[in-house]
Amino acid sequence: DSGGRGMSNIVYIATSLDGYIARKDGSIDWLREIPNPHNSDFGFNEFMEGVDAIIMGRNTFETVLSFNEWPYSKPVFVLSRSMKSLPSGYACKAEIVQGDLKLLIESLNRNGLKTLYIDGGKTIQSFLELHLIDEFFITRLPVLLGSGISLFAESPVELKLEHIKTEVINNYLVKSHYRRNC
């Protein structure tokens, strides 16, 4: 169910205040330090209810493999040119894909997967360069990492966005929703 959104490719991600999604080595340990006295998911499950599938890069997939349990009930597509097979036990949980992103999206849309969650730094940047991101949910943490993997690396693309909503969560996180202006 696409939650009434229609067809869209959505980024839902956390960044440091200085715009990094991970440390240089890919570590996201700083995300695990978020104060969470009510054991909240900060709106992630509600977001996921409106998503049909997830497209992520290989590095993000490898990070997800380190979690205690598989966090997704939706189909997961892993973009990778180097990965030839999935680790044991993940064949029913994910599929390796590659090739033209526009053709991939068209194929997924034809198969009823219309609202896609795009995750991973390089993957998001590749989609951005092709103007394939429709919405952003960016949650900023009051942490300055100083360096790392930037959400928005230098890009030849200029994108105009419309601000939809910003909310402060637990007096700590600032979550903003933006939609691309066509």
Q: Is the pLDDT of residue 29 over 80?
A: yes
The band of 2, judged by pLDDT with boundaries at 50, 70 and 90, is very low
Distance CA(51)–CA(128), nearest Å, equals: 19
- Percent of the chain scored above 90 by pLDDT? 69
Question: Tokens 């330090």 identify what position?
Answer: 33
Distance CA(10)–CA(12), nearest Å, equals: 6
Q: Is the pLDDT of residue 90 over 70?
A: yes
| Cα angle value 25/27/32 (rounded, 5°) | 165
The crossing angle, in degrees rounded to 10, of helices 58-65 and 121-129 is 150
Rounded mean pLDDT, 153-176: 89
Q: Is the pLDDT of residue 15 over 90?
A: yes
Secondary structure (3-state) at 134: coil
